[in-house]
Amino acid sequence: MPAETWRLLDTGVSDPYTNMAIDEAILLEHREGKTPPTLRFYAWSPPTISLGYFQQLEKEIDLEAVKERGLGLVRRLTGGRAVLHDDEVTYSVVAREDHPLMIGGIRPSYLRLAKALAAGLRELGAPVEIASGRKGGREEHTTAACFDAPSWYEITCGGRKLVGSAQTRKGGVVLQHGSIVLTLNGDDLFAVLKMPSEAVRQRLLAKFYHQACGLEEVLGRRVEAGVIKENIVRAFTRLYAVEFVPGGLTEGEKGRLKELRAKYAAADWLKRR
C-alpha cells in the first residue's frame, strides 16, 4: 500500500500567541483543502501557562504570580486544564475528521495518535503505557492543572502522566496538540494556580509530583528534542504508512498569522470564559 503524504513542520521556538496562531492557521487552511494533514513540533519562549478553552481565568489563575515568575499566559483553542509549557517537546496534528486516524470521535482518535507517540517514546527506552482513563471517585480538591491525573488514552509511565494532550474539532477538521514533558516543573505551575490555602497548595504540589513525570526522570538521562521528534515521526510511518515531507508554513498560513496572533494576545480572548 503506498504511503500517504503528510507535511512535517518544525517551527522552533515562538511566543505563546504565535504558537497558538500557527496551530489555528494550519487548521483553517487545511479546512479549505489548501494543505495536507500536518504534524508540527514546536517550543515556547517564555515558559507559558496555557489555559483550556473553557477555564475561568479569574477563578483559577493568579495573574500577579504569573507576572512575578516571568511566565507567558495564553488561552488555547482546545479544552482541558492548565498546562505549563517549559522543558518539553510540543506537538500538534491537524487532519480532517473523516481521515482514518480521526474517524469514530474523540476517544478513538486519541488512542490512534497515542499509539504513535507511545511507540516513539518506547524506542528511546521509556516503558510507557496508554492510560485507559480516569478512575471513579472525586478528589478532595481538583486542581486546574492538566498533569495531575491521566485522562482517556494519555501516556503514562508507572502510572504517572508523561504526555498530556487536548483536542478540538472545527469545520470538519481535528486539531490535537500536546506536551511531551522532558523535565517536570510543578513549582512554577502551582505557584500561579489559585488555591484555598498554602497548605493545600503544598499538599497538591507533592501529589502532582507523585502523579506526573518527565522523560529525563524516566530514562535517567537527557534526550535531545530532535531525537524524540525523529522517533515519533518513524513511529507514525511504521504504524500508519504515513510519509512525511518536511516543509514550512504556506503563504496562506503566514497571511493569517497577524490577525490570529492578535486574537490570542487580546485580553478579551484570555478572559472570555
Pairing of strands 155-157, 129-130: antiparallel
Cβ–Cβ under 8 Å, residues 79 and 54:
yes
**What's the CA gap between 215 and 53, in Å, rounded?**
27
**What's the CA gap between 210 and 83, in Å, rounded?**
17
**What's the CA gap between 205 and 185, in Å, rounded?**
10
Cβ–Cβ under 8 Å, residues 182 and 214:
yes
The grid coordinates of residue 68 equal: 512575578
Task: Please identify which of the residues 146, 149, 181, 242 carries the catalytic annotation.
Answer: 146
Task: Verify whether residue 213 is a known catalytic residue.
Answer: no
Q: Which residues contact 9 (CB under 8 A, 6 or more apart)?
A: 26, 38, 39, 40, 41, 246, 247, 248, 249
**What's the CA gap between 22 and 254, in Å, rounded?**
8
Catalytic residues: 146
